[in-house]
Amino acid sequence: MSETKLPSYLADAKPNKNRAPWYKNTAPAYAGIILWFVFWQNIVSTGTPGGALAYGITLPILAIIVTALIAHFFYHLVPGLFGMKTGYGLAVVGSSVFGAKGGTFMPGLLMGLLQFGWLSVNGYFASGLIAQALPFDIAPEIIMVIFIAAALFVGLKGIKYVAPISTWLPLIPVAVLVWLLIKTIGTVGDFNPSALLAASKTAVIVETPQGATAGIPVLSQFGIAAFIVSYMIGFFATAGAAGVDFGANSRNSKDVQLGGLVGVSLMMILTGVAAVLILAGAYGNPNYAPALLAAGSPMDPTKIMSVILGDNTGKICMGLLALAAFPSACFASLISANSFKTMLPKINANVSVGIGGLFAIILAVTGIAGNASGVFGFIGASFGPICGAMLVDYLLSGGNWTGPRAGFNLAGWASWAVGFVVGVLGILGYIPMGPLWAFIVGAVVYWGAMLAGMKSEVLDFNK
């Protein structure tokens, strides 16, 4: 052990001693994240004819189940166990991977920065629903600015202002999903993917004399599975790493396991499968299908609500889903504020969060945030290697946290850099399942680098 002056985020760290059962903290916290309508509304929206339902419902359902288990066992479990065993949060625990100085940036500030991506996606889609639900015309971009600014204001005020508005609102998406499922489940067996593809005017890539292509091809079955894996893992990557903070509130390893299995895997399966069945049942219903096909065959449960529930009721549900999304926007702002306050204590959080909020607004109003799979892919590329390195760190240390390492731990930074590049290649379409490969490559590089001695010494961290 080496003694040196620790950065303030480590020197001032105190382990959490207030623990509670998994059903009082971890499971409901994760459930609230996954019930966010943006997650389940886009889970089969591949942007290609037929979406993820092009070959029926079995493939997307299996992909959702497998990915939901991956999310818990590979992304959440080890961070959760680290948090449970140490009582410390992600910034402190991550210093064993990236070093005491390096931990200021990774995962400390990175977690705060990426929250603005979440915030932009939330603001973009929630504002779109609000614009459709209002009885008068207003540009969605105006609502985006107001929505994001309000979330930033509440988030900066602190957890005591965020928590009260998030207790019951997650029940809204539960009610909407159940209602839509009840209305469509009876005709799931009548869903015909071939008819959907034919009506969607499926186009095959055709080479013209000029070398251009015409039309949008149907994804292969592997392509559909890869899309779902990328989308779900990208969505969950930061939440998985935040399992350290959730784990710090857990009593034992059983709490970590059950909190993840129920709050992460089960909720992903229930919401994702519900979205698949709702869409299949809607397109299998002769009363709904013609209107949906005429509308361009949307692969999004929120876009078909007015057809299934009626125009007025559908608009009310849109407004309620947007309302239920507001707490998660506030939490994203809160996490970013806490991150900047902890890692950059000398900089006013109002300034740093305000600048980040402006960036979120720009992403939203320009429509960049509307590409949810792309934004989540970038987040997955950023945090996949962190989760992979933490898994290896846990295994190499025999399940115990070593404590912070000096300076910048080269093994951690090498694993992140290589893993991030792999994840970005996935976003650009060069490799499938970019967020998952970012995790795998990050883990392998960290393991190799640590065994090769590319590591800094462990600092004295007796608390």
Q: What is the CATH number of the domain that holds 447?
A: 1.10.4160.10
pLDDT above 90 (res 205): no
Q: What is the pLDDT of residue 204?
A: 44
Residue 36 lies in a domain: yes
User: Which range, of 71-80, 148-157, 268-277, averages the lowest pLDDT?
Assistant: 148-157
Residue 350 lies in a domain: yes
246's CB contacts (< 8 A; 6+ apart) are: 25, 26, 29, 30, 80, 83, 259
Tokens describing residue 119: 């915030």
Q: What is the pLDDT of residue 125?
A: 96
Which residue bears the tokens 């005020």? 157
Residue 293 lies in a domain: yes
pLDDT above 70 (res 454): yes
Amino acid at 299: M
Q: pLDDT band at 132, cuts 50/70/90? A: very high
Query: Residue 197: which domain range?
Result: 19-451
Q: What is the pLDDT of residue 210?
A: 47
Specify the higher pLDDT residue, 161 or 439. Answer: 439
The 10s digit of each residue's pLDDT in 244-261 is 999 999 999 999 999 999
Which residue bears the tokens 């399992």? 243
406's CB contacts (< 8 A; 6+ apart) are: 2, 4, 99, 100, 456, 457, 458, 459
b vs e for 246-279, b when ≥16 Cβ sit within 10 Å of the residue's Cβ?
bbbbbeeeebbbbbbbbbbbbbbbbbbbbbbbbb
Mean pLDDT of 280-291: 95
- CA–CA dist 91, 198 (Å, integer): 51
Residue 116 lies in a domain: yes
Residue 312 lies in a domain: yes
- CA–CA dist 220, 224 (Å, integer): 6
Report helix, strand or coil for 95: helix
Rg (CA), the chain: 22
Report helix, strand or coil for 19: coil
Q: What is the pLDDT of residue 215?
A: 62
Tokens describing residue 87: 């009582």
Specify the higher pLDDT residue, 189 or 212. Answer: 189
b vs e for 125-141, b when ≥16 Cβ sit within 10 Å of the residue's Cβ?
bbbbbbbbbeeeeeebe
Contact between 416 and 380 (Cβ < 8 Å)? no
| Inter-CA distances, 320 with 77, 126, 130, 132, 442, Å | 33, 10, 9, 12, 40
User: How many domains, in total, are found in the chain?
Assistant: 1
Amino acid at 44: V
Residue 4 lies in a domain: no
Residue 2 lies in a domain: no
pTM greater than 0.75: yes
Residue (of 280, 324, 366) closest to 316 by Cα position: 324
Specify the higher pLDDT residue, 4 or 412. Answer: 412
Contact between 2 and 460 (Cβ < 8 Å)? yes
Percent of the chain with pLDDT over 70: 94
Q: What is the pLDDT of residue 145?
A: 97
The 10s digit of each residue's pLDDT in 75-123 is 999 999 999 999 999 999 999 999 999 999 999 889 999 999 999 999 9
Amino acid at 72: H
Mean pLDDT of 319-331: 90
Mean pLDDT of 30-55: 93
What count of Cα atoms within 13 Å lies in the side-chain half-sphere of residue 431? Answer: 17
pLDDT above 70 (res 158): no
